[in-house]
Structure 1
Amino acid sequence: MILFRGSGAAARRYVEADRSRADEYYLGADNAVAEYAVLDGRGEVTATRSLAADEYEGWVDWTNPVTEELMGTPRTATEGAKGSPLFAEMTINAPKSLSVAAALHPDVSAALDAAQQDALSEIQRWLGQHSVTRVGSRQAREVVPIESMQVVGIRHKTSRAGDPHRHIHMQIGTRVWAAGKWRALDTAALFKQQGAIRALGAAVIAAHPQLARTLAEHGLTLNPASGEVTELEPFNAVMSKRSAQIRRNLDRLEAEWEAQHPGEALGPVMTARLQGIA
């Protein structure tokens, strides 16, 4: 679990950089970049919609994408003080061998998408039921349940190195509705809950009947204890070594480019070029 501080534009660059340009999913394609959901205190979904790039950036900057109202004003970073956390992020991952199986077989890919979506849905439900905020003055604060919260999911199929790596960026909005106004999510409580959240997501994927059935149709076995595909697991080390090598190359190339272009931001064309060299 990490807290993101910055801006909506920076958040978009961050998620763009977390997958290869060869990824079938391209941030900005078809005008949709993320899936947005609103949860109530029972964990029930009360609204969903896709977010275009500008809507996603606005959501990160605390603009409600449904009503367009401001949910507060983020505190900007100053010397000696951090800026407001705009969202908390946890990545819902798939074991490497399962990502490889999805790359090999389109029906496994669809089943894995369904399994990861089910994991995201169960985590969202749990968050709605267990997230809290604080109400009252600093001297007399009371912990109360949230009445409404927002979660965004962004799907990627590859790593920055271009190898199969199925994952969802689950971004938990830090503005929640409770006691008649927008308030700050209690992120200290959220961090204490992250073990349960991660275990829930892993369990949903490892025990997913559609995924196990689809793998079996291709002679592959899903190990419910590890979540790995037994027949493909031996290839994990080779692919991880390759991925790490490319990632090191890319980090070096990006650092060299930034040193030669101070104050400039890497655009998509140059990023793709550096990824190809790496």
Structure 2
Amino acid sequence: MRGGVILFRGTGAAARRYLESDRRADEYYLGAGVAPAELSAVDGAGRVIAHSALTPVEYAGWVDWIDPLSREPMGAPRRAGEARQGSPRFAEMVVNTPKSLSIAAALHPDVSEALDAAQRDAVAEIRSWLGQHSVTRIGPRGKQEVVAVERLQTVGISHKTSRAGDPHRHIHFQIGTRVWAGGAWRGLDTAALFRQQGAVRALGTAVLAAHPQLAAVLDAHGLTLDPVTGEVAELERFNAVLSKRAGQVVRNLAIFEAQWEAAHPGQDLGLVVSARLQAKAWDHERPSKRPSRLGSEAGWRRELDEAGYTPDLPRAPRRTAVPLDELRVQQVANRALDRCAAGASTWTVHDIEEHVTRIITETGVRAEPAELRDVIAMTTRLAACRYCRPAPRIRSTSHT
């Protein structure tokens, strides 16, 4: 998964326009139906307690802090003024895949179906993780106490193309900034969310890379999913053909990084700043108008054929999939701590979990999401219990 967490501070009407403009190139798929905004609510254990498809009006209301389930307000958002920003309405991260996977999905309907399932599973795991780890604050300024959330809402909107009309499978995953805790709607601690985003992105990547159904369907077509890069090895060289914005984004990122380094001489970008600049590079000058030519499998296939694609491409070397029960968790835990130490003098449990997840992904395991989740959690606990000081206790406000 590429890109970081972005806070959206506009109105519900503005959010609706933003999503609809991103969907314009998807009109080719209208015959098959474009997925609506899907709301899910999870409890503090990460269990889904409500699920509903939202109309465009309901979605705009949710952004404006109207609970679609109860129809009651979840607070009053602060409007932007001259001296301060408006309230963040939601935090968005995009569940995406390398371009070559989107190309494979455009070439083969069964790969398309498997990729949809894998992305939905990635969203489900991220949503559950956030339900278990998100926090808010209760109390007067200066005496606030960090507490676990009891209920959190997310919205997912699936798109299949980029605004330039190229194949680009992605889900806009939006995390509501109003959470329920201590008998009232409160603000999500977004500072904590930004610190957690590395672990969240690594989890989404791991689910996709380890997905047995996706790997099996790709294999049936002579295609190989590389667990390290996430790319389909045989199709990776065609990425540039169907990535019309890639060059522009690379140039944007170089400019933004140079500007940041000039303003912060001698400082390291760091993971958080780097993620923000990457997201900014993708958002800068992104197409806002409907492309002159809508994407289609036939059009994409012509472009690929002209670039040298044939169905009988030479098969890339395959790595033997590693069963989870053969994974050496102590070794993974030690390697994760080594990476933490190499990256910073201090780190959190979420930093450890990010590295644990990435290392497990790199081994090439194949596992169902629930099995993968359990191994990641167990390995993270193993590393954290041995080498970390106890984290500050987060109070639960639940009475159940």
Which TM-score band applies after superposition, normalised by the shorter structure?
A: 0.7 to 0.9
Q: Does 1:221 align with 2:224?
A: yes
Shift of 1:253: 8.5
Aligned residue in 2 for 1:237: 240
Matched, 1:166 2:169: yes
Conserved 8 A contact 1:23-1:157: no
Match of 2:75 in 1: 72
For this pair of structures, how many residues does the alignment match?
A: 255
Does the 8 A contact of 1:23 with 1:156 survive in 2? no
Partner SS state of residue 21, structure 1:
helix
The code of the aligned residue for 2:152 comes to: M
| Letter aligned with residue 208 of structure 1 | H
Partner of 1:81: 84
The 1:228–1:245 alpha-carbon spacing in structure 2 relative to 1, beyond 3 Å, is closer
Q: TM-score, normalised by structure 2?
A: 0.61
Amino acid at match of 2:167: P
Q: Structure 1: how far apart are the matches of 2:18 and 2:97?
A: 20
Rounded to whole Å, the distance in 1 between the matches of 2:229 and 2:200 is 17
Per-residue Cα deviation, 1:186-231 (whole angstroms, up to 9, x for no partner)? 0000000000000000010011000000111111111112111111
1:1-278, aligned counterparts within 5 Å?
1-24=5-28, 33-240=36-243, 242-244=244-246, 251=285, 271-272=289-290, 275-276=291-292
**Is the contact between residue 19 and residue 162 of structure 1 (CA under 8 Å) also seen in structure 2?**
no
Structure 2 residue ranges without an equivalent (≥5): 253-284, 295-400
d(CA) in 1 for partners of 2:201, 2:176: 17
> Residues 63 and 25 from structure 1, CA distance in 2 versus in 1: closer, same or farther, beyond 3 angstroms?
farther
Name the CA distance, whole Å, in 2 between partners of 1:61 and 1:86. Answer: 7
For the 8 Å contact 1:19–1:161, the answer to whether it is kept is: no
| Percent of aligned positions that are identical | 63
Q: Which moved more, 1:68-77 or 1:9-18?
A: 9-18
**What is the alpha-carbon root mean square deviation over aligned residues?**
2.3
The superposition leaves residues 149-174 of structure 1 with CA deviations (integer Å, 9 ceiling, x where unpaired) of: 10000000000000000000000000
The structure with the largest alpha-carbon Rg is 2
- Tell me which amino acid in the other structure corresponds to 1:193: Q
CA separation of 1:171/1:243 partners in 2, compared to 1, >3 Å: closer, same or farther? same
User: 1:171 is paired with a residue of what secondary structure?
Assistant: strand
Q: Residues 67 and 252 (structure 1 numbering): CA distance in 2 closer, same or farther, change over 3 Å?
A: closer
Amino acid at match of 2:115: L
The change in CA–CA distance for 1:245 and 1:234 in structure 2 (over 3 A counts) is closer
Alpha carbons of 1:104 and 1:246: their partners in 2 closer, same or farther (altered >3 Å)?
Answer: farther
TM-score, with length taken from structure 1: 0.86
Letter in 1 for 2:15: A
Contact 1:206 1:226 in 2 (8 A): no
